[in-house]
Structure 1
């Protein structure tokens, strides 16, 4: 059993929490009180046999005494300490904090995770407020009505000799603008309050409605693996979507997913993926004789697939947003200009791979693979259409990601805290980090 240098401290804290005297614990464990005292002050190593007896008397798992709190708590505490700008926590005493005050250590770790969650929530809300076209339109309607009411009221209040006919007309305008203001305010409140009612009222954007529907199914439509019969089975679900635009998007999605399932049968695809070992989309595309973006979609939309995926058109607008933990995707507006997605968009048919790091309380690393496909649906006489995709694969220290040079990227400028970014196009509302 591996033990840290503070096993004795954990024994002492558990004993005190249980209300057991030192002599009583020593007697029950079959050791002398003086030896237990040395153990509790970390002056003697503990053999496995003695540790097992102490754990049995204290009624705890021996692993809790030997290794202390979970490694995740220690990782969170280290990340929290690295984020501290005004203070310098004693990093060398983290083990002591965990051993002597496990409750406080757990509280700090929980608060650190809570702060990270709240920061992501603030970023998402700011992104919505800054770029949501529905919210912008609702606010514009309210402000326009307020201005009209104010102007009409000012004329009535400041002009004494208005003819009765004109006064009646102004009163009518004032009433109409007041009604418009009330309706606009009600619509705005309903929209802001309507996150739970979006599916019923159609308040959500069609793309968001489609993404919510796919997210509920884990981004995997298993029925399509059965072929054409699976498409018919999904028709009732598509018909239940709130807006006609969302239903149209869902039908297009299903047609494309069915085509991917036909060209890349799941069993054969997963067998080839295991055999290849690298997960290289280009090699898989060559193996199956299909296009690279189809492989991207198949990788990301398998059942329980860890990869995320974003797809954009030639304008850079995001058409598909399958999220992955820690990699914040903007719901409205433009994404980070440093994403390899946009490098691929400018260089069609050239595969681009990069390691990248997203900012945050505990920065996370990802392997990003991007590719752009070009189409000419109208031949030589028509325009060129580009679709670029970026596969987002989370990395862990076990993969050696820490040793790789990482591209410092973000979500979008408005909610990115990176200081001195060469690609920044607007100031950030977030606290700056490196």
Structure 2
């Protein structure tokens, strides 16, 4: 079984020595034995959430730095690299990968970066292969070029192989060859221009993946937007709660955006923009959409500044990021950072209870948990996934070590799919191919109450946290966190578990 421990023992040992503490002295203050601390420093024991906090406080190490999030990303990337068929015959034990990351972090980061570049290059090759087969313009250009080359070849063969051609016939074939060659030039130039334009449009990664990577780098937390959200809440909330009628009035008076529940859609023109909600849309969803629209207008400068720091390469990626950041502000207005974090810690991250207490949906509460990463006052680091009934992943917030496909479907063994049939909360301790061990928690949500004869829109929401934090949540209660986990993968095609009985695709 792969070992999921992040190689932070070396870091703890280095900081302890810098502080002039012996293992016995540090272990005494932590309430553990010196032998157990020795195992931790040699990366032979996992560290539970509360113990990790105590070590960080005693040695003055930020939880973000101590938890080894960047190392976890590199471990996962190198693990995926070794699992690639290109590396067939090269066997590196998971412990060796962790030792490499712990002892030579820059070399590990270089390998991880090379792996991402290799994956992106493969993606570009697949796109070009698809384009060669399906692009009508390219097919037309290639067909024209091949026809003209065939004409030149045919004429040249006749001139070379038939010696008794008359002078008139010879002149006619030479003229045909000359015409085909002359017409071949613009067709070839068009083909070159096509590939030049394609190359200019190529992006290093897909827009969704690029935004995901940018959010990971910023730990899904944006202090500037938290400050904006606090100001907007003071502006909009006369009481402790955001009132829907007051928010609708503010949208119309300040930005000329009218809101309507039911009825015909308002024309979305510059003169009369509007938001229209179905009769069945729940109140939290209406408020969230109003707040997202309000934030996109009232905080446009701050959103633009934040998006610029993400350094995205395409307009498509910037559009996705702007929507994600506007949603971030909306969630922060509905669930103020300090109040929500305090409530989450007190209620041990019981998402259903938190959503009820905050007056928001289960999905909104789960989303907000992902963003609680303020330096010095962090919540638990969570990954977030949403899937529709077909199994397609429609939202994703990655977590270091949690391998998530950039598009399509996930692993059939994830509890996000079991939740559709159980109707309740599904918990599972899962082991990913890169060695990451996570507590996965899933539950279905309905986006709106359907009318008679209308099929309800149902999604499954899944939160994931590293197993070292599981004991700080209600979802870890009663589970054997140190027992045998369910071995899962990212999805079938890239998964290296070749003997998995649930495999539905041929592996790469």
Per the TM alignment, residue 68 of structure 1 is displaced from its structure 2 partner at its CA by 11
Tell me if the contact between 1:127 and 1:414 (Cα under 8 Å) persists in the aligned partners: no
Alignment of 1:225 onto 2:300: no
Corresponding residue number in structure 1 for 2:467: 395
Cα gap change, 1:339 to 1:191, in 2 (>3 Å): farther
Cα gap change, 1:417 to 1:163, in 2 (>3 Å): same
Alignment of 1:369 onto 2:379: no
Corresponding residue number in structure 2 for 1:424: 503
CA distance in 2, matches of 1:258, 1:168: 66
Cα gap change, 1:215 to 1:88, in 2 (>3 Å): closer
For structure 1, the residue ranges without an aligned partner over 5 or more in a row are 1-47, 49-62, 95-104, 196-203, 430-434
Corresponding residue number in structure 2 for 1:292: 362
For structure 2, the residue ranges without an aligned partner over 5 or more in a row are 1-21, 23-33, 47-70, 72-78, 159-168, 233-294, 375-379, 472-478
CA distance in 2, matches of 1:124, 1:339: 28
Per the TM alignment, residue 307 of structure 1 is displaced from its structure 2 partner at its CA by 1.4
Per the TM alignment, residue 402 of structure 1 is displaced from its structure 2 partner at its CA by 5.4
Alignment of 1:269 onto 2:340: yes
Corresponding residue number in structure 1 for 2:302: 234
CA distance in 1, matches of 2:355, 2:383: 19
Cα gap change, 1:133 to 1:265, in 2 (>3 Å): farther
Tell me if the contact between 1:281 and 1:296 (Cα under 8 Å) persists in the aligned partners: yes
Per the TM alignment, residue 214 of structure 1 is displaced from its structure 2 partner at its CA by 3.4
Corresponding residue number in structure 1 for 2:290: none
Corresponding residue number in structure 2 for 1:18: none
Larger Rg: 1
Cα gap change, 1:173 to 1:87, in 2 (>3 Å): closer
RMSD: 4.8
Cα deviations by residue, 1:255-290 (Å, 9 ceiling, x for unpaired): 43333223322222111122123x221222233332
Whose RCO is larger (CA < 8 A, sep 6+)? 2
Corresponding residue number in structure 1 for 2:68: none
Per the TM alignment, residue 370 of structure 1 is displaced from its structure 2 partner at its CA by 1.4
The DSSP-based 3-state class of the residue aligned with 1:403 is: coil
Per the TM alignment, residue 294 of structure 1 is displaced from its structure 2 partner at its CA by 1.0
| Aligned partner of 1:412 among 468, 491, 496 | 491
The DSSP-based 3-state class of the residue aligned with 1:396 is: helix
Alignment of 1:129 onto 2:148: no
Alignment of 1:179 onto 2:251: no
Corresponding residue number in structure 2 for 1:257: 328
CA distance in 1, matches of 2:150, 2:400: 54
| Aligned partner of 2:425 among 326, 351, 355 | 351
CA distance in 2, matches of 1:300, 1:113: 28
Tell me if the contact between 2:429 and 2:439 (Cα under 8 Å) persists in the aligned partners: yes
| Aligned partner of 2:149 among 131, 150, 153 | 153
CA distance in 2, matches of 1:370, 1:333: 18
Residues matched between the structures, number: 333
Per the TM alignment, residue 407 of structure 1 is displaced from its structure 2 partner at its CA by 1.6
Cα gap change, 1:116 to 1:158, in 2 (>3 Å): same
CA distance in 1, matches of 2:486, 2:230: 41
Tell me if the contact between 1:127 and 1:330 (Cα under 8 Å) persists in the aligned partners: no
Alignment of 1:311 onto 2:386: yes
Q: Structure 1 length as normaliser, TM-score?
A: 0.60
Corresponding residue number in structure 2 for 1:340: 415
CA distance in 2, matches of 1:113, 1:321: 28
Corresponding residue number in structure 1 for 2:208: 207
CA distance in 1, matches of 2:125, 2:423: 33
**Bigger mean CA deviation after superposition, 400-409 or 135-144:** 135-144
Q: Structure 2 length as normaliser, TM-score?
A: 0.52
Tell me if the contact between 2:498 and 2:507 (Cα under 8 Å) persists in the aligned partners: no
Tell me if the contact between 1:413 and 1:426 (Cα under 8 Å) persists in the aligned partners: yes
Per the TM alignment, residue 300 of structure 1 is displaced from its structure 2 partner at its CA by 1.0
**Bigger mean CA deviation after superposition, 175-184 or 405-414:** 175-184
